[in-house]
Amino acid sequence: MFKVKGYAATSSSTPLTPYSFERRDPKEHDVVIDIKYCGICHSDIHNARNEWAGTTYPIVPGHEIAGIVTAVGSKVTKHKVGDRVGVGCLVDSCRTCASCKEDLENFCENGYVGTYGGMERDGSGMTQGGYSNAIVVTEDFVLKIPESISLDKAAPLLCAGITLYSPLMHWKAGPGKKVGILGLGGLGHMGVKIAVALGADVTVLSHSDKKRDDAKLFGAHNFFNTKDPNVFAENAETFDLIINTVSSADLDMGAYFGLLKREGTLVNVGAPDKPLTVPVFPLIMKRRNFAGSLIGGIKETQEMLNFCAKHKITPEIEVIEPSRVNEAYERVLKSDVRYRFVMDMAKL
């Protein structure tokens, strides 16, 4: 074991505080990573505050990790010391179920191991995440960061990037498809950039005009303010695909279903802490689909990184010192960041 330092939540109602803990020494297939940057995801807040229930304390959040390899186990073949690498939401899976064999470790039928708050497969303890200066991960779950993407901007791609890339690819966003991105935040702005690069006709659906200029800057072809009741009537049956990035249970889902073409699909990637109210008649009457999507497997995540490098896609970030993590949490809840916080772990 070796000692590391970081920031942890010790209860659901107290701020994150400095925290020292131990990582395992690298096993033969492990990679040791010096964490340079770690993004802040809304999921971190939900877990730190036990809003999804089941959090075990203390917990070190963080699953948008970018850094440099400092050591490798004796049988590691995929990475070497000095490599620029990333770790996303997964650090292990069973490797044997049908989903894992299809490179869909995110849907592991025996339960994937989350980067934080998960139980190690050998039962040795809970995983702790990237709000720390180092991490040890088995080589199969470590991703290569292309040279053209800076490490600070690579970090949010490991969650926000793949969370939007995966459904856009699965539902075949591209030329001839009309895609709506509901919410222009940390997730939504990545959805716009990726969907535009795929060749889709992209519209941002937002509850205010504050980000209209940003949407156009990111390449969106249209921007609809959903507070205008005429938007839903004038654009009924318009979209092939809508990706809902909003973590709110207060949306009028029936109104958004009405924006879909016959057989269109609305995909939820936002994760509210309360159930959504889902009316069935707007779905039934037009054979529309309501679906969900959860990040991607390791193969697809690497494809996403390579795609973003090829198309020069990076997130909009605000880099902060780790000591400001609690301030950042409050600002995330107020949508007061454009568009993703990234912590400089050298300042830990």
CA 265 to chain centre: 20
Question: Do residues 257 and 288 touch, judged by C-beta distance below 8 A?
Answer: yes
Which tokens belong to 229? Answer: 């009741």
What is the biggest distance separating any 2 CA atoms in the chain, rounded to whole angstroms?
A: 63
- CA distances for 11 relative to 60, 170, 325, angstroms: 11, 38, 15
Q: Which one, of 131, 39, 37, 139, lies nearest residue 92 by Cα?
A: 139
- CA distances for 269 relative to 181, 184, 210, angstroms: 11, 13, 22
Q: What angle do CA 195, 196, 197 make, to 5 degrees?
A: 90
Q: Which 3 state secondary structure label does DSSP give 310?
A: helix
- CA distances for 16 relative to 262, 311, 328, 336, angstroms: 47, 37, 11, 19
Q: Where are the beta strands (DSSP E) in the chain?
A: 2-8, 17-23, 30-39, 65-72, 84-87, 90-92, 113-114, 134-138, 143-144, 178-182, 201-206, 222-225, 239-244, 260-268, 289-292, 317-320, 340-344
DSSP-assigned letter for residue 346: G
Which tokens belong to 72? Answer: 């490798």
Burial status of residue 41 (CB atoms within 10 A of its CB: 0-12, 13-18, 19 or more): buried
Q: Which one, of 158, 91, 140, 100, lies nearest residue 120 by Cα?
A: 91
Q: Which residues of 60-69 are buried (b: 16+ CB within 10 A; e: fewer)?
A: bbbbbbbbbb
pLDDT per residue as tens digits for the range 167-187: 999 999 999 999 999 999 999
Question: Do residues 264 and 242 touch, judged by C-beta distance below 8 A?
Answer: yes
| Cis geometry, peptide bond prior to residue 339 (ω within 30 degrees of 0) | yes
Alpha-carbon distance 16 to 2, whole Å?
Answer: 22
Q: Which 3 state secondary structure label does DSSP give 179?
A: strand
pLDDT per residue as tens digits for the range 84-102: 999 999 999 999 999 999 9
Helix, strand, coil proportions of the chain in percent (round to 5)?
25, 30, 45
Alpha-carbon distance 314 to 331, whole Å?
Answer: 21
Alpha-carbon distance 311 to 313, whole Å?
Answer: 5
Within 10 Å of residue 321's Cβ, how many Cβ atoms?
A: 13
Q: Which residues of 102-120 are buried (b: 16+ CB within 10 A; e: fewer)?
A: eebbbbbeeebbbbbbbee
Helical spans, DSSP H, in 132-245: 151-154, 160-170, 188-198, 212-217, 230-234
| Torsions phi, psi for 329 (to 5 deg) | -60, -45
Question: Do residues 220 and 188 touch, judged by C-beta distance below 8 A?
Answer: no
Question: Residue-wise pLDDT tens for the chain (348 aa)?
Answer: 999 999 999 999 999 999 999 999 999 999 999 999 999 999 999 999 999 888 999 999 999 999 999 999 999 999 999 999 999 999 999 999 999 999 999 999 999 999 999 999 888 899 999 999 999 999 999 999 999 999 999 999 999 999 999 999 999 999 999 999 999 999 999 999 999 999 999 999 999 999 999 999 999 999 999 999 899 999 999 999 999 999 877 899 999 999 999 999 999 999 887 888 999 999 999 999 999 999 999 999 999 999 999 999 999 999 999 999 999 999 999 999 999 999 999 999
